[in-house]
Amino acid sequence: DGCELEAGRPFRRRPGLLVRRLGDGAAIYVGVNLFGEYLRAPTVQKLRLVHGLLTGLRTPAVTLEGPMCVTMNAHTQPDGRLAVHLHNTPGSVYHYPQPPGGGYLHCPGEVVPVRGLRVILSGLRAASARSGVTGSELAVEEGARVVVDELQLQEVVLIELER
């Protein structure tokens, strides 16, 4: 779709974007105040653009396979375990209150459980995983994916990494 990153070259069909590699890092030029525009009018397309820009430069160590209403933060604990905080926040992907005709099926403030989430590890291997909320064991697929069967409002996935 023309969104491939090419260091030092504009995206095809998107001349307002430019990526330059700088040593081990990179600089991204966007010809618009993207974050201000997102705050003014959040859309899935803008969120996907920022996601594509950042993950196209470097694959994150931890990602989430699931709907955009689930936010995630990961932190390495002092004991070496990885703590992944998941939060079911439907308000993060639509204006509050709900825009007319927005196609959102739930009442503002209502949290609908999300099922079949997967925490994906890149460059890391999970020996085991458990819920930090209930203490129950979570399934680990091929050492690289932790399955969260159902997320109500929040969960902390504690991942014991292979050494």
Amino acid 84: pLDDT: 98
CA distance 117 to 50: 22
Q: CB atoms < 10 A from the CB of 157, how many?
A: 27
Q: Which amino acid is at 31?
A: G
The fraction of the chain above a pLDDT of 90, given in percent, is 43
CA distance 54 to 72: 15
Q: How confident is the model at residue 29 (pLDDT cuts 50, 70, 90)?
A: confident
Q: How confident is the model at residue 21 (pLDDT cuts 50, 70, 90)?
A: confident
Q: How confident is the model at residue 32 (pLDDT cuts 50, 70, 90)?
A: confident
Amino acid 106: pLDDT: 57
User: 3-class SS at 90?
Assistant: helix
Q: What is the pTM of this model?
A: 0.69
Q: CB atoms < 10 A from the CB of 90, how many?
A: 22
Is the per-residue pLDDT at 22 higher than 50?
yes
* 100 class by beta-carbon count within 10 Å (0-12 exposed, 13-18 middle, 19+ buried): exposed
Is the per-residue pLDDT at 105 higher than 80?
no
CA distance 15 to 13: 6
Inter-residue contact 137 to 148 (CB < 8 Å): no
pLDDT per position as a tens digit, 44-74: 788 788 888 888 888 899 999 998 788 899 9
Q: How confident is the model at residue 35 (pLDDT cuts 50, 70, 90)?
A: confident
64, containing H or E segment: strand 62-65
CA distance 135 to 7: 45
CA distance 148 to 84: 11
Q: Who has greater pLDDT, 104 or 50?
A: 50
Cα–Cα–Cα angle for 33, 37, 40, rounded to 5 degrees: 145
Strand order in the sheet with 10-11: 10-11, 14-22, 25-30
